[in-house]
């Protein structure tokens, strides 16, 4: 009888240890914020606005005929900056979101820098428009990759 009780206790102990190991393996700690579809959609929208801004400037104006003076584009600069600031605020309030926040900060810093250069020079060359467009395309791509990474972290492939 004593052997049965010891065997029973031993099997319960083994079961408890195995169950604990399985439970601990199933637990995960996430140091990444969850994916936010609204922010992802806003990134796409802002990227389209910036791309449209530069493509319109490139295709419909010329630096030769003063068509690219800053005042013709001031309102669009403001509208896009407001959208970028909105993205920054949304990223800042999400916990564990330092990388996405930093990408937004860099995007805004460059947007303001390029806007001020346009204001100072009162024109933009075709080459600068292409470079600015590529710069922002890369930054928005980085933002989207960060959001997709959060989605993958939240739902890892099996």
Quick one: pLDDT at residue 150?
A: 84
Contact criterion met (CB below 8 Å) for 36 and 147:
yes
Higher pLDDT, 156 or 101: 101
Mean pLDDT (whole number) for 116-136 = 96
Average pLDDT, the chain: 86
Q: Which of 69-73, 92-96, 115-119 has the lowest mean pLDDT?
A: 92-96
Residue 155 has pLDDT above 60, yes or no: yes
Residue 21 has pLDDT above 80, yes or no: no
Given CA atoms 15, 16, 20, 23 in this order, what sign does their dihedral have?
Answer: positive
Mean pLDDT (whole number) for 8-30 = 60
Quick one: pLDDT at residue 2?
A: 60
Question: Domain residue spans in the chain?
Answer: 37-153
Neighbours of 3 (CB within 10 A): 7
Higher pLDDT, 17 or 73: 73
Q: What is the pLDDT of residues 37-93, one digit of tens each?
A: 999 999 999 999 999 999 999 999 998 878 999 999 999 999 999 999 999 999 999
Neighbours of 32 (CB within 10 A): 16
Residues, the chain: 158
Residue 29 banded pLDDT, cuts 50, 70, 90:
low
CA–CA gap between residue 99 and residue 107 (Å, rounded): 12
Residue 4 has pLDDT above 70, yes or no: no
Quick one: pLDDT at residue 36?
A: 82
Residue whose structure tokens are 């810093």:
109
Mean pLDDT (whole number) for 99-114 = 97
């Amino acid at each position: 009888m004593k052997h049965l009780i010891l065997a029973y206790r031993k099997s319960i102990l083994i079961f408890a240890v195995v169950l604990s190991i399985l439970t601990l393996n199933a637990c995960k700690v996430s140091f990444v914020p969850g994916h936010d579809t609204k922010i992802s959609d806003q990134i796409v929208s802002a990227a389209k606005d910036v791309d449209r801004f530069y493509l319109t400037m490139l295709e419909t104006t010329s630096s030769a005929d003063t068509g690219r003076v800053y005042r013709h584009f001031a309102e669009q600069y403001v509208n896009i900056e407001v959208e970028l600031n909105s993205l920054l605020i949304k990223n800042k309030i999400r916990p564990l979101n330092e990388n996405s926040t930093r990408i937004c900060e860099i995007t805004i810093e460059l947007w303001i820098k390029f806007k001020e250069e346009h204001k100072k020079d009162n024109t933009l060359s075709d080459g600068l428009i292409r470079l600015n467009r590529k710069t922002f395309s890369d930054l928005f791509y980085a933002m989207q990759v960060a959001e997709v990474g959060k989605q993958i972290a939240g739902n890892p492939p099996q």
